[in-house]
Chain A
Amino acid sequence: MKKLFAMLLVVAMVLSLAACGSSNSASTTGGDTAATNNDASTTTPADSATTDSGAAIKLGGTGPLTGGAAIYGMAAKHGAEIAVDEINALGGIQFELKYEDDAHDAEKAVNAYNTLKDWGMQISLGSVTSTPAAATSAKNFEDRIFALTPSASSTAVIEGKDNVYQMCFTDPNQGSASAQYIFEQKLATKVAIIWKNDDVYSKGIHDTFISKAGELGLEVVSDTTFTSDSQTDFSVQLTEAQKDGADLVFLPIYYDAASLILTQASTKGYAPKFFGVDGMDGILTVEGFDASLAEGVMLLTPFSADATDDLTVNFVGKYNDAYGETPNQFAADAYDCIYAIYNACTAAGVTSAMSAEVTNDLMIAQFTSMTFDGLTGDGVTWDASGAVSKSPKGMIIENGAYVGMD
């Protein structure tokens, strides 16, 4: 009896929420973005993005806003919000942006995607991370809603889908570019790799790096992994690399684990060159991180928050004012996504009255033909597969700041 009663209670609760949900869903958008941040300044640009103008084109994206990967989702969301505010302030085409939480999970990402579809999303920003994006991009393809993902870099995201595009490099692209770069610049003769064995991103880069290195005759002496379950102690991986005489350690991983590796290598007194990819960007912004540990770390990244061009300075400044932190490449990619979509919409004359399907065809036509200049690269183009073509910049960390290597 007690149980039955409890179930009634749950059902009642669910139903009441369902009732509120349907009445509110249309009017809520970015909401309390500032609530997550202690240091946020009093005004948040999200407020203007949420103003419900009837004639706005609806953009939707999913990303991990909670859980272990939340940092990437939040960054993309914030970056996109800044771009939407800037565009809406111009007074031309208006955007309405909504980000839904997918907790870095394919199942929840599809739910989030469907929520956005019910809301009337016309253009999608896909998902922020690769595994969820592979699931949502299949939906994008099925529903004919155009998607431009800021940072889901796995090839599975765009494979076989004519209307899913990427703002970031594909993983294989980064892997071979890194091997090429290390070989050409004669950075090392013996390379060790430490990668994350349960991460699509890391695995993708690792595989192409190995095959490219094989082609070039770059010797990979040590190939070790870790998983999210064992992401604390790297002594074995580092000892192996040291024992095998690696003079460069390639880290195709995100910066949180990389910062631990750098710290532990320094404690061990092991000082090879460290080489990272775009996931490494952000290491200098970790609060409390001793930047001297990252001295000499090299990385291939399309974006650097320390660049002095007007676009970057403007973006970093606004981001800092709004969210009290320095943006990383996820934020920059999302910012570029919005502008790329804006340019395409302007060129194709997309209006908020158009259906997602009509918009979809116009966007595909634009993206296969246009050239885009943004934060993460100049002269960016896309091919019909959806992969982006832009040149990664080699960066080295010197005195706690990025310096271009070329």
Chain B
Amino acid sequence: MTMKIKKMSKYTRRNFITYVMLAILFVVVQALVSTGNVSSLIKGQLVPICAYVVMAISLNLTVGVLGELSLGHAGFMSVGAFSGVVMATCLQTVVPIAWLRLAIAIITGGVFAAMVGVIVGIPVLRLKGDYLAIVTLAFGEIIKSIINNLYIGLDSGGLHMSLLTDKLNLAEGGKTILGGPMGATGVSSISTFTMGMILIVVCLTVIFNLVNSKSGRAVMALRDNRIAAESVGINVTKYKLMAFVISASMAGMAGTLFAMNYSTVVASKFDFNTSILVLVFVVLGGLGNMRGSIIAAAALTILPELLRQFQDYRMLAYAIVLILVMLATNNPTLSAAFRRFFGSFRRKKPTSDAKGGAAQ
């Protein structure tokens, strides 16, 4: 086994470790859940954590691999969430198997988010830097505003849609799926942790394969030096758009997974603050570092819950932890000091240190 790992290329080995980490995590969590050793709190957080992990790796594709700052990623999550919910509600009677319905809903969410990704991506990716960031923010707000005024109902005649008014003209027995500001209520919560883990693995595989492919190297070349990349004949729009749309569709799938975990979901949930939250996971985990994103998303999702003992000071404590972690990771003096402190533990096990270095 060890031999095998050593023989692999650097990338393969790194990815392999990530998969093993996820597999172990999955087995451990499943074992704990089935033996009843997990609190309701943690059990309730498993699916949202999966959704945030997918969000984080998908945003990492845009920010870390493509190198463009996006402040509106929650918009794609929103599109995926609502299109997925509508699809799942439509299939309620047609497909009685919950996991299959969920899978179809997730794919639908991904497809719709990808379509929005194309619409957003074509104009957005022409801009640069902070201007691009603000336009993604603007798109996120536009998506929120539109879904907030969108009404979708279902009756025997099929889907009815209406913008701004709730006059859907539903036939007898029809029901409103999405009620504008009321959001979608009465969603049957069918998301499972297993499905969440499958989604993470699928997205990771796509990203790892992309990064190691010709297209992925083209995308990274664009990130590192656009002009040089262009001069060797790399099609800027094509590769940028490709990465952006893949990222958007993953966010959409994460959105469906997230929405199907709660009995209610509203458009204002997917606002600027959610986009920022995901960006925090990505930056903390390290740009381009998928494993880092996974750990950061999981840790920062659980953190506010663990801070509940601080009562009213909870969110204050969260802010302080966030600032301190950013300082500790990015300030040379501070991180050196911390490393010295932790180094005393590590010196006893030099092998693990070496491994850690290689993995990085």
Q: Which residues of A contact B (CB under 8 A)?
A: 1-11, 13-14, 17-18, 20-21, 24-25, 28, 31-33, 35-36, 65-67, 100-101, 103, 105-108, 110-115, 117-118, 131, 134-135, 138, 154, 156, 159-160, 197-200, 202-204, 207, 227-229
CB atoms of A107 and B48 under 8 A apart: yes
B interface bracket (residues with beta carbon within 8 Å of A): 35 or more
CB atoms of B308 and A115 under 8 A apart: yes
Q: List residues of chain A with CB within 8 A of the CB of B314.
A: 66, 101
B15 on the A face (CB < 8 A):
no
Q: List residues of chain B with CB within 8 A of the CB of A5.
A: 335, 338-339, 342
Enumerate the 3 nearest inter-chain pairs by beta-carbon distance, A residue then B residue, closest first: A138-B263, A6-B329, A134-B264
Chain B nearest CB from A93 CB (Å) reads 26
CA of A114 to CA of B308, assembled, Å: 12
B360 on the A face (CB < 8 A):
yes
CB atoms of A1 and B325 under 8 A apart: no
**Can you list 30 pairs linking A and B with CB atoms under 8 Å apart?**
A1-B360, A2-B329, A4-B359, A5-B338, A6-B325, A6-B335, A7-B296, A7-B299, A9-B329, A10-B295, A10-B299, A10-B325, A21-B309, A28-B311, A31-B312, A33-B312, A66-B315, A101-B308, A111-B41, A114-B39, A114-B43, A115-B41, A117-B41, A131-B183, A135-B262, A138-B263, A156-B186, A197-B180, A203-B179, A204-B182
CB atoms of A135 and B264 under 8 A apart: yes
Max chain B Cβ within 10 angstroms of own Cβ: one of A17, A65, A154: A17
Chain B nearest CB from A225 CB (Å) reads 9
CB atoms of A14 and B40 under 8 A apart: no
CA of A152 to CA of B269, assembled, Å: 18
Least CB separation from A17: chain B residue? B306
Across the interface, A20 reaches (CB within 8 A) one of B44, B265, B309, namely B309
Chain A nearest CB from B302 CB (Å) reads 6
Q: List residues of chain A with CB within 8 A of the CB of B12.
A: none
Contacts known (A114-B39, A118-B39); A200 close to B182, Cβ less than 8 A: yes
Least CB separation from B294: chain A residue? A7
Stretch in B124-132, B207-215, B285-293 touching the partner = B285-293
Contacts known (A106-B264, A114-B44, A207-B166); A198 close to B296, Cβ less than 8 A: no
B303 on the A face (CB < 8 A):
yes
CA of A230 to CA of B253, assembled, Å: 30
Q: From residue 172 to 207 of chain B, which have CB atoms closer than 8 A to chain A?
A: 179-183, 185-186, 189
B141 on the A face (CB < 8 A):
yes
Least CB separation from B268: chain A residue? A198
CB atoms of B181 and A229 under 8 A apart: no
Least CB separation from B332: chain A residue? A2
> Told that A17-B307, A117-B40, A118-B40 touch, could you supply 5 new A-B pairs with CB distance under 8 A?
A7-B292, A107-B262, A110-B44, A114-B39, A131-B266
